Structure 1
Amino acid sequence: MGPVRTASVLLAVLLVAACAEPSPGSAPPPHAQPPADPDALVLRVEQVGGYTTPQDLAARLPVVSVYADGQAILQGPVPAIYPAFAWPNIQVLDLGADGVQELVDHALAAGVAEQGDLGAPHVTDMPSTRFTLRTAEGTHVREVYALTQTTGTGLTEDQLAARERLLELLTEVQDLSSASTPEDVPESWTPAAVAAVVEPWTAREEDTAQGLSPEPLPWPGPPLPGEPIGPGISCVVATGEVAGAVVTAAQGANMLTPWATPDGALWSVAFRPLLPDETGCADLQA
């Protein structure tokens, strides 16, 4: 077969391959554009489920939420103290358009748009890690149970390899709060609205035994307890100037602080800043 004949056959093969429909379950394209809307959520990584209280489940913040305008809202480091601060260390970092595109590419390479079996480690009461990726082509959601369990769990080599790619993505977004250069330093983020996840306050014997008896603080927000959203818990949302007053008060409190209402009731409140794509208490129940 001469050179011209060989080149013709090769060209025909390439054209057929280019026009072929992708097979079911095939790997997604390695590159996709973020949504055109600058306010759109592009990537969210969050922990869901696990053994904890209904209040903690509802008030849990995502690890990171990245928007098409480059804004990344993430959990910053917190001191390992007890009782913990009432207000979370929530930060914002401007990734720019290139940074957002890079995360989209990394999420695709990590398998967020894939559907292969990730296995079920032989452990109980662990949270799952949920990855939500939105591109101009559509939305992909992948959830993996006990992602950090990588050894001694009865998983196959293929499952471990797939989980390792997702674990690398989780580590990457967690590391966004660790600045490598001065321009990468995240700034404190103040939300426009705050959800308060509420339950009746009761003194715990173990805290009292350690001399932890915080004084009640006057509640500065909307009337408590609000609307029920789960077993024994309710929710209210503060906006505008009231949200500012709630943030200021929360920054001077800890997780054990009782919040007193005018009727003399005491409430335990977990503070959950609402993210730009969230509108109210219903967003905390996913």
Structure 2
Amino acid sequence: MTRLRCLSTAAAAATLFLLSGCAQTVGAGAEALSPSAAPASPVLPDDDDALMLRVAYTGGFVGPDMLAGRMPETSVYADGRVIFDGPVPAIYPGPALPNVQVLTISPDALGTLLDKAVAAGVQDGADLGHPGVADAPTTEITVRTAAGEQTVGAEALNEAQADDPLLTAPQKQARKKLLAFIEELNRITTQPAGGTPQQYRPEVLAAIVRPYVEPGDGLPERPKKVGWPGPALPGESLNPTVGINCVAATGKQVDAVLAAAKEANAATPWTSGGKTYSVRLRPLLPDETGCADLKAAR
């Protein structure tokens, strides 16, 4: 069925399309955003799983399995779902499964959010400079606009000093605007205006797999081995150079892995086919389908 949906806009001249006669809907999180002066929202696609906005980290001084299994900080979809990496307890070993949560905002709030991303400088080719910080991740923001998808990457956005001599005044100001936008986006997830976030239940659950190595963490008790209930390990190669593989559980296997993860943690040895593996669980998002989506991790 074709659905007609509208986004709020402050000036029709900046949008490719303007639909009339759509009723406004106020949903969770709508109150968290004020109108933007930089309209750029497209007509929402019929595909609810179409990605409209994403904030993610790339690079940094982390292992290859973490690079492949790292969740985006926040992903926003055409139906208003906001899927984000929630807080985790400061314990060792940590939980086996990331705390991925989901809430829904209204079409009005979604349109304003997209406009604000553009107003904050999310645009291909934006000059954010190169601060004097080593091994820090790059914050990458992607937004879908009426002019197409726009992406910007800011090295060490959170780590760079405000007076970094390697950054020009315009670069510092551009980075400040991006940080302010991310803070506003984070308030939608940390201070939701219309309901409590729910646990995200993925349709596909990936596992980043490598041979198990004793951690040498000095703990008196070795972690208990758990039988792997998903597809046979180790699965397809993600990066043969560093020896990491991937499998993707679907259907009833997702339920089985989620149940087993409740009895495990990040250091749990998983057994499959008579061998023992370390596994990093990575729920796939609505715009992802399998291990191939994780091969391009940067």
TM-score, scaled relative to structure 1: 0.85
Q: CA deviation at 1:178?
A: 1.4
| SS of aligned partner of 2:101 | strand
Q: After the TM superposition, which residues 46-57 of structure 1 pair with which residues of structure 2 at under 5 Å, given as runs? A: 46-57=56-67
CA contact (8 A) 1:128 1:146 kept: yes
Q: Deviations over 1:113-170 (max 9, x none)?
A: 2533211111111100111111343111111111112424221111110001111122
1:219 counterpart (214, 220, 228): 228
The unaligned stretches of length 5 or more in structure 2 are 1-12, 14-36
Q: 1:170 aligns to what?
A: 182
Partner AA of 1:126 in structure 2? A
The unaligned stretches of length 5 or more in structure 1 are 1-17, 19-27
| SS of aligned partner of 1:237 | strand
Distance 1:116 1:197 in 2: 33
Change (3 A) 1:216 1:180: same
**Pair 1:147-2:157 in alignment:** yes
More displaced, 68-77 or 33-42? 33-42
Change (3 A) 1:212 1:60: farther
Distance 2:268 2:157 in 1: 33
Distance 1:131 1:43 in 2: 7
| SS of aligned partner of 2:79 | coil
CA contact (8 A) 1:46 1:61 kept: yes
1:254 counterpart (243, 257, 265): 265
Q: 2:285 aligns to what?
A: 275
Q: CA deviation at 1:253?
A: 1.2
Q: Which is helix-richer, 1 or 2? A: 1
| SS of aligned partner of 2:265 | coil
**Pair 1:80-2:118 in alignment:** no
Q: CA deviation at 1:29?
A: 5.4
Change (3 A) 1:273 1:197: same
Change (3 A) 1:239 1:165: same
Q: CA deviation at 1:98?
A: 1.2
Partner AA of 1:211 in structure 2? P
Q: 2:50 aligns to what?
A: 40
Q: Deviations over 1:71-110 (max 9, x none)?
A: 1111111111111101111111101101211210110111
Q: 2:70 aligns to what?
A: 60
Kindly, what percent of the aligned residue pairs are identical?
A: 45
**Pair 1:238-2:255 in alignment:** no
Q: CA deviation at 1:173?
A: 2.5
Q: CA deviation at 1:212?
A: 4.6
| SS of aligned partner of 1:161 | helix
TM-score, scaled relative to structure 2: 0.82
More displaced, 275-284 or 163-172? 163-172
More displaced, 209-218 or 72-81? 209-218
CA contact (8 A) 1:274 1:280 kept: yes
Partner AA of 1:158 in structure 2? P
Q: CA deviation at 1:213?
A: 1.5
CA contact (8 A) 1:34 1:134 kept: no
Distance 2:221 2:185 in 1: 35
Partner AA of 1:103 in structure 2? L
CA RMSD of superposed structures (Å)? 1.7
CA contact (8 A) 2:38 2:115 kept: no
Q: After the TM superposition, which residues 84-99 of structure 1 pair with which residues of structure 2 at under 5 Å, given as runs? A: 84-99=94-109
Q: Deviations over 1:160-208 (max 9, x none)?
A: 1000111112222233321354x33211111011000000011122x2x
Partner AA of 1:273 in structure 2? P
Q: After the TM superposition, which residues 179-198 of structure 1 pair with which residues of structure 2 at under 5 Å, given as runs? A: 179-181=191-193, 183-198=194-209
More displaced, 80-89 or 108-117? 108-117
Q: After the TM superposition, which residues 91-170 of structure 1 pair with which residues of structure 2 at under 5 Å, given as runs? A: 91-113=101-123, 115-148=125-158, 149-154=160-165, 155-170=167-182
CA contact (8 A) 1:177 1:185 kept: no
| SS of aligned partner of 2:162 | coil
Q: CA deviation at 1:211?
A: 1.9
Q: CA deviation at 1:256?
A: 0.4
Change (3 A) 1:82 1:151: same
Distance 1:180 1:199 in 2: 38
Distance 1:180 1:167 in 2: 19
Partner AA of 1:67 in structure 2? Y
Q: 2:33 aligns to what?
A: none
